[in-house]
Amino acid sequence: MVSITALLHTHNDALRLGRALETLYACDRILIVDHGSRDATVRIAREYGAQVVDARPGQTPQDYLRCASRGVEGAPSANADSASPVSAKSRWILCLEPRESLTEKLAATLFQWKSEAPHAHAPVVPAFSVFLREETARGWMAHPAAQTRLVPQTWNLWSDALPVNEPSAIALEGELLRFVFP
């Protein structure tokens, strides 16, 4: 079965983080990379069961996943990658911003995708993309192009906290909602 880790970078996002975390029920794990928040961001993340690691210059998402797997003291945690029965090919990272939330349709699509058994003859999918709607003062605006947001754990093309857009990524059904107002 496929395993999905939600990855969010935060900095003083206490007002909006809960809304994002409430929609990640299709994910097996939530990892928060915190960039020195001074509000209740870290407390809220932990209340939702997220694992929190401190941001460090030059670190990649794979570095954060390894750090989180070792646990706070450097010892393997209960959900360490080495202890997981899920193969490395079946581990995926869903990247989103703290001001974004999954629609119910996107969460359902992720559940369905996870439950389908991979077939040996199925083509290899490099990544998945999602469409985004953004809240504005005039209402919701749809972005015309899908953004690459669900990538294999071995992905190495990043632009800050989000994956670089992959033109061959398959668009998932459902959307990400980006809230401007807390």
Q: What is the pLDDT of residue 18?
A: 96
Cα-Cα-Cα-Cα dihedral of 43, 40, 151, 93, to 10°?
A: 0
Q: What is the pLDDT of residue 119?
A: 53
pLDDT tens digits for 46-104? 999 999 999 998 888 888 888 777 764 333 333 444 444 444 557 899 999 999 999 99
CB 19 within 8 A of CB 44: no
| pTM (two decimals) | 0.86
The beta-strand segments (E) located in the chain are 3-10, 29-34, 51-54, 91-95, 100-102, 128-136, 139-142, 147-152, 158-159, 162-163, 170-178
Average pLDDT over residues 125-154: 94
Region of residue 109 (left: phi > 0; alpha: psi -120 to 50; beta: else): alpha
Q: What is the pLDDT of residue 50?
A: 97
Nearest to 95 by CA among 38, 142, 27: 27
Distance CA 182, CA 163 (A): 25
86 DSSP 8-state letter: S
Q: What is the CA radius of gyration of the chain?
A: 16
Look at residue 40 and tell me whether its pLDDT is greater than 90: yes
- Select, from the ranges 27-36, 59-68, 118-127, the one with the highest average predicted confidence (pLDDT): 27-36
